[in-house]
């Protein structure tokens, strides 16, 4: 007999959890403070990225952040502010940015990404959502400087050692795969293992399927408080109603730390703001790419091309900084000959908040504080890529099944 389960959070992590829990016969109520039409799950680059084996918390990242702190258009921007949670997170991030942490994280990140890539294909082949955009064209890492080329060659070698499909391209090979590139580009690494999707197409299809199958959606409702006794949560109260359940899933992204506090749990999460620009006309861009020096992601999606980027640590807000939008647009035009992004396209830019843990790894697992709470958040820039895998693992935890992979490294109570 299925359990009654409440999921707090309706991004790709929450929806994926609902999808797999539903398959196991559970009864799902999903609560989200929005109307499920915007946010990080809608404005991301759509990447499914086994290639992204290096966590955000890596040697030198904090130094880069401090160096870029006074340049609000830089790819990695930290807004100086007196906030105790942010200061604690910063100390944990700095302590995690070590070679040892990177070495520990690489196989975990690779394995969960490969699991998720396979699950995306299974969802596509199941026909549950109907047709949706899913392509495995890989990901180009385009570089203009020898420094970036050398760095990416080292990452590519490690990815290859991990068994991923990687190819270093000559300029001739690159020009065949992607014409109309700037003559300033020195070369590229092609991660053939990667795939991509169109989030604004897939998200509504996933919501529609879940509704058809009986998942109850409580949108525009904010989780305000919980009732609990000893090691068991009994209910969650929103701004509209109180709901009871057997199990609870915390998948509330950048809001997770604040919600966890209501349960007297410490969960370090900071919102990392990312921006996107959509161009609804032909751009000549055929393959997803990352413009390395600018840290801009480029994705040919269903009917448009998306340019996305930046990691802005400035708290929970959806303020659009024009200088950051222009930095993305200007970088894109400098890598592709003949590409222009209009003022109108720039003015329609949107942003989303990605939940970033101090060590760059997600939180997936049971909280030690409660027997009926599963946490699934902190995925940073890999939330879209890791959605199905996280949903599958959440379902295996709640259904007392054998896990698809070892998740000890994702434990919500780990120390930094």
pLDDT grade for 70, boundaries at 50, 70 and 90:
low
Helix, strand, or coil (residue 209): helix
Domain ranges for the chain, please list them: 4-410
Q: Are 320 and 313 in contact (CB under 8 A)?
A: no
Q: What is the pLDDT of residue 63?
A: 75
- Give ∠ CA 225-229-231 in degrees, rounded to 5: 105
Q: Which two tokens stand for residue 246?
A: 């057997």
pLDDT at 1 exceeding the cut of 80: no
Burial (CB count <10 Å: 0-12, 13-18, 19+), residue 323 = exposed
Please give the Cα distance from 341 to 353 (Å, whole number): 24
Global pTM value:
0.97
Residues 6+ apart with CB under 8 A from 207: 10, 15, 36, 217
pLDDT grade for 349, boundaries at 50, 70 and 90:
very high
The chain-wide mean pLDDT, for the chain, equals 96
Q: What is the pLDDT of residue 83?
A: 92
pLDDT at 168 exceeding the cut of 90: yes
The residue among 55, 70, 65 whose CA lies nearest residue 110 is: 55
Looking at the DSSP bridge assignments, the partners of residue 381 are none
Half-sphere exposure of 362 (CA within 13 A, CB side): 33
Q: Domain 4-410 has what CATH class?
A: alpha beta
Q: What is the pLDDT of residue 64?
A: 75
pLDDT at 48 exceeding the cut of 90: yes
pLDDT at 247 exceeding the cut of 90: yes
Please give the Cα distance from 366 to 402 (Å, whole number): 14
Burial (CB count <10 Å: 0-12, 13-18, 19+), residue 82 = exposed
Q: What is the pLDDT of residue 79?
A: 86
pLDDT at 380 exceeding the cut of 80: yes
Q: What is the pLDDT of residue 210?
A: 98
């Amino acid at each position: 007999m299925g359990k009654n389960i409440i999921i707090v959070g309706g991004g790709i992590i929450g929806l994926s959890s609902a999808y797999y829990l539903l398959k196991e016969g559970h009864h799902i109520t999903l609560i989200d403070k929005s109307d499920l039409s915007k946010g990080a799950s809608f404005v991301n680059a759509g990447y499914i990225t086994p290639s992204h084996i290096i966590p955000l918390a890596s040697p030198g990242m904090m130094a880069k952040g401090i160096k870029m702190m006074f340049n609000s258009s830089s790819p990695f921007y930290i807004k100086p502010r007196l906030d105790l949670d942010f200061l604690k997170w910063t100390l944990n991030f700095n302590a995690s940015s070590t070679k040892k942490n990177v070495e520990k994280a690489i196989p975990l990140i690779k394995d969960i990404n490969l699991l998720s890539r396979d699950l995306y294909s299974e969802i596509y082949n199941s026909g549950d959502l109907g047709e949706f955009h899913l392509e495995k064209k890989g990901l180009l890492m385009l570089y203009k400087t020898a420094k970036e080329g050398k760095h990416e060659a080292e990452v590519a070698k490690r990815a290859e050692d991990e068994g991923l499909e990687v190819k270093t391209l000559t300029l001739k090979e690159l020009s065949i795969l992607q014409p109309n590139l700037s003559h300033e580009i020195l070369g590229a690494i092609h991660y053939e293992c990667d795939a991509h999707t169109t989030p604004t197409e897939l998200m509504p299809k996933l919501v529609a399927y879940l509704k058809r199958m009986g998942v109850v959606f409580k949108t525009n409702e904010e989780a305000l408080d919980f009732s609990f006794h000893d090691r068991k949560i009994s209910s969650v109260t929103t701004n509209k109603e109180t709901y009871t359940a057997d199990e609870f899933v915390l998948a509330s992204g950048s809001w997770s730390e604040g919600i966890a506090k209501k349960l007297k749990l410490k969960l370090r999460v900071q919102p990392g703001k990312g921006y996107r620009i959509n161009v609804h006309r032909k751009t000549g861009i055929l393959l997803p790419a990352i413009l390395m020096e600018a840290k801009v992601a480029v994705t040919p999606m269903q009917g448009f091309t998306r340019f996305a980027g930046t990691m802005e640590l400035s708290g929970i807000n959806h303020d659009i900084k024009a200088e950051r939008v222009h930095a993305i647009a200007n970088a894109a035009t400098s890598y592709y000959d003949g590409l222009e992004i209009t003022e109108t396209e720039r003015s329609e830019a949107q942003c989303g908040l990605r939940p970033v843990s101090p060590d760059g790894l997600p939180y997936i697992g049971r909280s030690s504080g409660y027997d009926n709470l599963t946490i699934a958040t902190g995925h940073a820039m890999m939330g879209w890529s890791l959605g199905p895998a996280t949903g599958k693992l959440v379902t295996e935890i709640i259904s007392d099944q054998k896990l698809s992979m070892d998740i000890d490294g994702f434990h919500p109570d780990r120390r930094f």
